[in-house]
Structure 1
Amino acid sequence: MFAKEVICTDIADEGLLDMIKRNIKRNESIIKADVSVLPLDFYSDHYSEELTKKLENVDIILAADVIYDNDLTEAFVKTLIKLLNTPKKKKFYIALEKRYVFTLADMDTVAPCYEHFLSIFLKASRRSPMCAWRVKEMNIDFEQRFKYERSKHLVMWEILT
């Protein structure tokens, strides 16, 4: 099973969007789907007309490595709810690695950005519309399809609307 269309997004930074386009070009021999590269700003309440139209047909949303700043995390969760709160049912998956730092406040090694994400994510999951969705942390003990070093700090979540 393959996607008919893939929409890749990042902030409206031409350098980042161009890098995504170059990566797609390098891998075009193995890409079977139509691919679009569009800006998506978590801090904005408005999306381009093109992105808005494409989002009407989205079934699955993937996010990775978007949890590293508390303000961005709050904007991300708000954006996520907006993206998922549409008539068509969707599946959402987020993968992230807990980023541990030593803090003087805790006098310990902690993952404050993940803890902040978890706090606002779980709080949002108890309110409408998320309370009607299935939200669960996924088991990461699944078969690896290619060689990479899987961190013990990898976390994945799934939301089904």
Structure 2
Amino acid sequence: MEDNCRRDQEEVMSEVHLGCPPNLHGSHLSHFSFPFPPPSNEGTLLNAREITLDEDGDLVLDRQSKPSSKCRMTIQHNITSTIPSVGLQVWRAELVLADFVLHTLFTMNILDGIIALELGAGTGLVGILLARVAKTVFLTDHGDDILNNCAMNVHLNAEIFENHQTSVYVRQLDWNKSWPPSDGPDELRSQESYKFSWTPSEVEEAEKASLLFAADVIYSDDLTDALFNTLKILMAQGSTKVLYLALEKRYNFSLDDLDVIANGYSRFQSYLRDAEECRHLENGLLPRFVGKQIDLADIPQYVREYDRQESVEIWQIKYLSSDPAY
């Protein structure tokens, strides 16, 4: 217990913040720039060369032919933090997931009008990008400081999505308390955190989310267990859901294993099965999480303010609850 307390008080620093003043305490503003496809304009007339029909005769719109505009995002964050407060920093996996979202926006229309939920949203960078085209975005995390900082970033970047009229909610979600989040009175809850509590209608809407996102939430076995316990319930509710999870494998020497390991990664992989394996599982062995790694070679680096490393991965994760034919 004492070792865990000591570890929780250790100061850590994201590689993204290298070069920032090391003695700068408190919050700091960083700017991230990237190309962004302009909002869809349903009133725009298409000429004959731009019209493409699918096999059912429906109109297909290809964003790749659209010019892009420059987008500048301002993110408030800390330069360093304790481990329980790492959501106050910007991490490499968060920016890789932002690249994935941007690439999806440029190449497909699947994010238009969706309900999305980000788990462990931290600074909210990915969710704010999604708000450009989504109908509703829930940015969830745990802790008043992190949630207040996330809400500030939503405010700082509201112009990104103000013309789209997206509903953006910053909400408390403690994975150790699972899903659905409590909306009743809690004597242990601070007055400050009440503004991040859920209403029953918000819980109902969040369960309709089709896409979930998470970045840099895999770094301890306990946290990984809590995450998947929440996912097991959340992904079985409402509409079919797909999770895109970005992580960075950080290698440290473990006294327990007497080896250099990536903390949390083995436990993370223990929850996943591939689609081929699930085809041969009997119903009695379900439910299962089905995972497929995204090839980052296919994802251009749109966000310039970081150094992408081979240690970063993105996984597409689905929850198979009843039908093994996948």
* TM band (smaller chain): 0.7 to 0.9
Please identify the structure whose Cα radius of gyration is greater.
Answer: 2
The Cα RMSD (Å) is 2.2
Q: Give the deviation of 1:41 after TM superposition.
A: 0.7
* Residue number among 181, 192, 201 corresponding to 1:47 in the alignment: 181
Question: How many pairs are equivalent?
Answer: 157
One-letter amino acid matched to 1:137 = Q
* Residue number among 110, 113, 136 corresponding to 1:5 in the alignment: 136
Q: Residue in 2 aligned with 1:23?
A: 153
* Residue number among 86, 94, 99 corresponding to 2:245 in the alignment: 94
Gap regions ≥5 residues in structure 2: 1-111, 113-132, 184-198, 320-326
One-letter amino acid matched to 2:308 = R
Q: Residue in 2 aligned with 1:37?
A: 170
Q: Deviations over 1:32-58 (max 9, x none)?
A: 422001111110034135242222321
Tell me: CA distance 1:74–1:121, structure 2 relative to 1, closer, same or farther (3 Å): farther
Gap regions ≥5 residues in structure 1: none
CA distance in 2, matches of 1:64, 1:90: 17
CA distance in 2, matches of 1:48, 1:107: 41
The TM-score with structure 1 as length reference comes to: 0.85
Tell me: CA distance 1:87–1:35, structure 2 relative to 1, closer, same or farther (3 Å): closer
Tell me: CA distance 1:87–1:97, structure 2 relative to 1, closer, same or farther (3 Å): same
Q: Residue in 1 aligned with 2:45?
A: none
Q: Residue in 2 aligned with 1:152?
A: 310
* Residue number among 124, 140, 146 corresponding to 2:296 in the alignment: 140
Q: Give the deviation of 1:128 after TM superposition.
A: 2.2
Q: Give the deviation of 1:105 after TM superposition.
A: 4.7
Counterparts of 1:106-121 in structure 2 under 5 Å? 106-121=257-272
CA distance in 1, matches of 2:237, 2:167: 23
